[in-house]
Amino acid sequence: MCKNFPPEHVEAVLISDQKLRLTRRAEFKYLPILTVVDWLPNIRTCYHFGRMLDDMADGDLPLPVGFSDFNGLAQHLKEKVFEGGLDTGSGGAVEFLMIRSMEKLIEVGGQTEEVGVTTIDFIEGMRLENERRENHVVLSEEKLYEQFHMSFDPSIDVVLIALGSPLRSREIPELTMAQAFSYSANDWRQDIKVGICNFPLEVLKKAGVSFEEIIRSPGIVLNNEYLSSWLDEMKQKAVVSAREVRGRKVDWKARLMISFLTARI
């Protein structure tokens, strides 16, 4: 595929196909994001790589031919990170978009080593999310918050690199937590459906229910006073964290990113 056609043409076809898939799945959710990233070519490629890999980790997209589990794909992609070039191997479309994303980040001034490490961190975050989903892992609050940073920080750093901002996610941890609290409070039904538990172990113990019980009967969440109160608390924490990060003194490029990511919180 990549050898017979110009890379930019292959990329355009892959992104066009994915945009169609996403808007068919949930137009209201994805159309605003797709509209914004279409204006930012460097971020667009990175977004579609991340979205594709995330969907594979969540089981919403099949793995490339030849891979029986997500762990194998993640390991393959990590091994490819520092090889470079557009001679895509068995990772197919997701590998192609990964390499294109890295090249674009380096073109706009990203340091090769930082781009590679950030890409590996993103892949590892997705691998751990897949592990949580497949094994119905329930984490303590401390471990869950660590997982949130592993899942969100690399994506934030990719956008900052693409925009040419010197800021990095470790300097604005409130942004990660604002997104994590918001997703936990608002996307819990979808998370439960795919087997992801964003309720900390301590919360489930106090609520007197197990995650397996919630999977079998999601209505437990809203009928359980402690769990429903916890969801309300997460919404409030998201608002507070978003307000805190919006109040940070940062460069204008980072300000644009923060404003966009917290607009609906």
Tokens of 23: 């808007």
The predicted structure's pLDDT at residue 54: 96
Instruction: Kindly report the three-state secondary structure assignment for every residue of the chain.
Output: CCCCCCHHHHHHHHHHHHHHHHHHHHHHHHHHHHHHHHCCHHHHHHHHHHHHHHHHHHCCCCCCCCCCCHHHHHHHHHHHCCCCCCCCCCCHHHHHHHHHHHHHHHHCCCCHHHHHHHHHHHHHHHHHHHHHHHHCCCCCHHHHHHHHHHHHHHHHHHHHHHHCCCCCHHHCHHHHHHHHHHHHHHCHHHHHHHCCCCCCHHHHHHHCCCHHHHHHCCCHHHHCHHHHHHHHHHHHHHHHHHHHHHCCCCCHHHHHHHHHHCCCC
Does the pLDDT value for residue 186 go beyond 60? yes
* Global confidence as pTM: 0.93
The predicted structure's pLDDT at residue 84: 64
Contact of 177 with 148, CB cutoff 8 Å: yes
The predicted structure's pLDDT at residue 158: 96
The predicted structure's pLDDT at residue 2: 52
Percent of the chain with pLDDT over 70: 96
**Span 112-150, pLDDT tens digits:** 899 999 999 999 999 999 999 999 999 999 999 999 999
The mean-pLDDT minimum among 83-87, 104-108, 223-227, 250-254 falls in 83-87
Question: If pLDDT is split at 50, 70 and 90, which confidence band does 199 have?
Answer: very high
**Span 52-109, pLDDT tens digits:** 999 999 999 999 999 999 999 999 999 999 776 556 567 799 999 999 999 999 998 8
* Per-residue CA distances from 131 to 13, 96, 125 (Å): 31, 24, 10
More confident residue, 2 or 38: 38
Tokens of 51: 């979205």
The predicted structure's pLDDT at residue 82: 77
The predicted structure's pLDDT at residue 234: 98
φ, ψ for residue 91, nearest 5 deg: -75, -10
CA 117 to chain centre: 16
Q: What is the C-alpha to C-alpha distance for residues 90 and 160, in angstroms, rounded to an integer?
A: 30
**Span 17-37, pLDDT tens digits:** 999 999 999 888 899 999 999
